[in-house]
Structure 1
């Protein structure tokens, strides 16, 4: 069968190719460029816990460890402490959070130092510190801090991520990276797609499916005549990457309404995000409009911000990179057109108030990869492929709605915020949750209304994870008897069946694998309509002993059953794959008939 064609060699396209390869699906990645990424310190990304774990699985890099060395590049991850947010009487605060940067940071480098390698290959998991600002807006007064530990996302430059993904691809036999290949046309037939590229390696490519991961100006989306409505310039930020020492090494910072704002009313919210080697990315929220950010204005903001945080004169600093990034909110009308799909920025743009565009793009890739793998290995399964658009578009649409509803409250000022006690705190907590990956703005999406969700049954049992939500990463015993994190078993194209059996962790698997309910459950797993792996965990949040969890290949819970229920387990697995074969075949016939009518 022909490989999957992936248009676009950004983080999402590269991640998708690796996710497919882990499930034995070949792919061709069409890269418009020469196969290298520009090293920009002002172009950074934020990875939440689930997407960082996905990158670990795809690249083999232990991002969760104290540090890693791989392919000659050394990356240190510092120990972090997240600080509790504190508010003053006026509702001003400095919140500790990690601010996402739009991958499309534009602007010229203000000053380049060295090759950039020393700065760009490091990632830091930034903690946050809460800075209590002056209610009167005075320049004096020392920051006030409190201690409370929370989890923090991982910060790194975008070229660090793409370099790691490219290096993993270089050792992958199932992936072909076609550089200098600009997509110009796509043709679909019943049995596959054909893509035409131009450039030094221009040619015709034959594929089973094609996925457009080619960014906001997606050629794939335009060739499929898919509308991309939304809002332009929702937010603008001035960006500077600089080397300096701040009073809070390794800690991310958000300062709302800083009291030293001497450069005019536009000098509002400012954030700082730590990278490596004392390099920081600073972002200043710009007022609405298209005012030019001049070098003099940017230098003024750098100096006054550093002086304000240091409580004295401006400390020494080295300006390394600058830019302006503009946040747009857009959502493609369709994410699937026959054998063509959209993912990442080609399908959605978001990034205001802490929403994470790259995080959602990586989740797109994780969701789509296992469904394409099922179709590639076992034949077209239209209901399963259709669920990609239903699930992912709904999650991103909800994220955009939450941000659009919050923007007038958080950015408008005055109004109810000035009169209702506690309103500022509630709004600021909403913003902070978005940056920290919590709440409606930040937490990973749940596919509660997915067509792949099984019908409720009497055998279901409640656990702390809702059906359709990502599972908790607990320790499990694998079939070979080793203890591994549950997330390590994801992304291989198989369903996971997890038995909750307290006490099994103290015995080798060989002592209990043939005892109690294990033989019956093992037989039920073997009989499932799709390959599955049987895992055992001593506990799971909210789960009673002998609960059985069915987990999709992308880590979302299908259902939790009370005890061994072979018929119910089979039915749930069948639904999670898009329905029984007869339903899938009928859906495929209807889809082909519909395409024939459209062509006519």
Structure 2
């Protein structure tokens, strides 16, 4: 049996690759495996939202992703028969450094993330399957099936990011709980000809069922249609996709070629617990739901970003493993809300008959309500996600009106500049692994604060008149927010909240 430290990541999709890369950046030995002998050519997830892009920016991969994808500035709900617009969502004004959706084929996303992982010394082991695991208080013994035979290894932790049919989930004895029977959809990646603006994603309502169109790079697009139960048919024919596209968009989109076609049935479910001792579940291994709103891969990427820095504190810096309970505390409610909202969106989008007429009328009214578009845009971009009630969110002293609170995602404060005086974003500072401690004005002794934080992160002075400090977590959320830059507050946060050994905080 081989003995290794660190973390085994099971599954080399976007979620597993983000988890492995973030762990490697934070100094944790990582091994990542996948049962597939080669990367998938199936483009199941095609949208990366603003909040996920903010987290991926720390990996330094956003320029590469944007080069392979298309920026989409908004989303429109239209009548598939008349073409009339019922509601629009404009993303260009959302409070994010990435005010758009990035439409990109999943194989391209995985290719970029795998390249970054390799740069960090993590190479995917393909054709390797997890077949058994047992754990104790010190580690996890796993059995891996490879082309050379079975291998037994011992690792510190296992991250199960192996999708909707997760072996890791099965091996820890848990299961998805929810609704497993619902609507059927046809989905395809196609080449299209259309006069519609490629900078807008669309949902078309139609008496025969909804259709969705997500423009990709060039003339490529993702199309999704509500259909009757296809039975045993594995995939629709190109001719069927061409006909559905013509019918459901009122002839405004014409398919000229097909890349990938499939049927799928919507399920809505979630595991009760994301943590099982030294095994943690993320992405589709933990929650599955409708593609409405394109939330699935994004929720998984954010699971990985949330988990990685906590696991690094435990695996590398000796934090109490109880810190990992905050992964369940913070991410399980997010997953539950995604399941609830996507279920509702699917029910609304697939309504027909009198309910469909009522839906269309309601959308037309809502689309003209003040603030509707802004609120819908922020929710679609996942900017409303936060952890204000988390045990890791500590607000000390007074709170200035309009300022961000602990548990919220860190904005770019005024006065945040590089050493040469040019403005810099928080996500750029997070490209250096670890925490970022923002100190306002002349508060605090940067040397002493740096000594307390040690190699856990970086201290940055803000050119501002306010007082206090804010500790930005590696996933971009605010942990500690205080009205004074007292080093003892940082020290207590590290030891009492993040459960790090006192010797680490004192180094």
Q: What TM-score, normalized to structure 1?
A: 0.71
Q: Which residue of 1 aligns with 2:333?
A: 394
1:147 Cα offset (Å): 11
Write out per-residue CA displacement over residues 290-320 of structure 1, whole angstroms, 9 at most, x where no aligned residue: 596753543321333566226xxxx572233
1:367 Cα offset (Å): 0.9
1:196 Cα offset (Å): 0.6
Maintained 8 Å contact 1:23/1:492: no
**Distance (Å, rounded) in 1 between the aligned partners of 2:116 and 2:325:** 30
Which residue among 133, 147, 170 is the counterpart of 1:200?
Answer: 147
Maintained 8 Å contact 2:273/2:328: yes
Q: Which residue of 1 aligns with 2:276?
A: 337
1:188 Cα offset (Å): 1.1
Distance change in 2, residues 1:146/1:289 (3 Å): closer
1:405 Cα offset (Å): 4.8
Maintained 8 Å contact 2:181/2:266: yes
Q: Which residue of 2 aligns with 1:213?
A: 161
Q: Which residue of 1 aligns with 2:459?
A: 534
Write out per-residue CA displacement over residues 18-72 of structure 1, whole angstroms, 9 at most, x where no aligned residue: 10110111111122122x21324x53421112322333433x3342xxxx5xxxx
**Distance (Å, rounded) in 2 between the aligned partners of 1:20 and 1:469:** 23
Distance change in 2, residues 1:466/1:404 (3 Å): farther
- The DSSP-based 3-state class of the residue aligned with 1:168 is helix
Maintained 8 Å contact 2:435/2:472: yes
**Distance (Å, rounded) in 1 between the aligned partners of 2:77 and 2:439:** 46
Cα RMSD of the aligned pairs, angstroms, is 3.7
The question of 1:523 aligning with 2:438 is answered no
Distance change in 2, residues 1:547/1:31 (3 Å): same
Question: How many pairs are equivalent?
Answer: 488
Q: Any gaps of 5 or more consecutive residues in structure 2?
A: 94-98
Largest Rg, 1 or 2? 1
- The DSSP-based 3-state class of the residue aligned with 1:256 is strand
Q: Which residue of 2 aligns with 1:253?
A: 201
Distance change in 2, residues 1:382/1:130 (3 Å): closer
Maintained 8 Å contact 2:114/2:124: no
- The DSSP-based 3-state class of the residue aligned with 2:124 is strand
Q: Which residue of 1 aligns with 2:100?
A: 152
- The DSSP-based 3-state class of the residue aligned with 1:558 is strand
Distance change in 2, residues 1:306/1:254 (3 Å): closer
**Distance (Å, rounded) in 1 between the aligned partners of 2:86 and 2:342:** 29
- The DSSP-based 3-state class of the residue aligned with 1:363 is helix
**Distance (Å, rounded) in 1 between the aligned partners of 2:126 and 2:232:** 37
- The DSSP-based 3-state class of the residue aligned with 1:5 is strand
Maintained 8 Å contact 2:274/2:282: yes
The question of 1:23 aligning with 2:26 is answered yes
1:234 Cα offset (Å): 4.1
- The DSSP-based 3-state class of the residue aligned with 2:297 is helix
Write out per-residue CA displacement over residues 513-563 of structure 1, whole angstroms, 9 at most, x where no aligned residue: xxx435x35423433587342123456xxxx72342221121111243224
Maintained 8 Å contact 2:236/2:263: no
Q: What TM-score, normalized to structure 2?
A: 0.83
**Distance (Å, rounded) in 2 between the aligned partners of 1:196 and 1:494:** 32
- The DSSP-based 3-state class of the residue aligned with 1:304 is helix
1:180 Cα offset (Å): 1.7
